[in-house]
């Protein structure tokens, strides 16, 4: 029951490595059965590398770096984004210190359950508390 009617092999270009790859009629039918409407933008090798946490794109391998001065220690550093005047930029050491000194996300006012004094949306939706 392999009917690939209406689908023809397509040659696509990988957005990471720039190599051409074939998007077969069978793959197209599989994508359609899963409700996927966009064609893959990466070749099978780059998709596999991306799933395994590796990178083949130039942006993640190094890309463009911009010079900046650390707002904490004043040391010259480079960053992978264009620094803005209204936001502080930190060297990697000071960034780690800043990150460590901040409260973990989701810990609002030390209550551990949000800013409503122990009641949150879960409580209301599941009628766990006095809602």
End-to-end CA distance of the chain: 54
Q: Please state, in angstroms and rounded to a whole number, the distance separating the CA atoms of residues 98 and 30.
A: 47
Cβ contact 19:1 at 8 Å: no
Place of tokens 């689908």: 7
> Residue 121 gets which letter from DSSP?
H
Residue 98: pLDDT over 80: yes
**Dihedrals φ, ψ of 22, to 5°?**
-95, 125
What's the confidence (pLDDT) of residue 8?
A: 94
Band (69; pLDDT cuts 50, 70, 90): very high
**Dihedrals φ, ψ of 37, to 5°?**
-100, -20
What are the strands, taking DSSP E only, across the chain? 10-13, 20-23, 66-69, 76-79
What's the confidence (pLDDT) of residue 33?
A: 94
> Residue 76 gets which letter from DSSP?
E
Q: Which residue did the predictor score with more confidence, 121 or 28?
A: 28
What's the confidence (pLDDT) of residue 32?
A: 93
Q: Quote the pTM value.
A: 0.40
Q: Which residue did the predictor score with more confidence, 14 or 109?
A: 14
What's the confidence (pLDDT) of residue 114?
A: 47
Q: For the segment 23-40, what is each residue's pLDDT rounded down to a tens digit?
A: 999 999 999 999 999 999
State the average pLDDT over residues 42-66: 75
Q: Please state, in angstroms and rounded to a whole number, the distance separating the CA atoms of residues 24 and 131.
A: 54
């Amino acid at each position: 029951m392999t009917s690939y009617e209406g689908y023809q092999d397509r040659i696509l270009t990988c957005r990471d490595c720039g190599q051409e790859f074939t998007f077969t009629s069978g793959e197209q039918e599989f994508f359609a059965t899963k409700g996927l409407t966009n064609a893959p933008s990466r070749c099978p090798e780059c998709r596999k590398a991306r799933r395994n946490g590796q990178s083949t794109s130039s942006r993640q391998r190094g890309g463009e770096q911009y010079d900046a001065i650390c707002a904490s220690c004043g040391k010259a550093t480079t960053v992978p984004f264009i620094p803005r005047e209204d936001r502080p930029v930190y060297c990697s050491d000071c960034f780690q210190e800043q990150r460590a000194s901040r409260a973990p996300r989701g810990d609002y006012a030390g209550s551990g359950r949000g800013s409503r004094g122990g009641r949150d949306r879960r409580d209301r939706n599941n009628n766990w508390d006095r809602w």
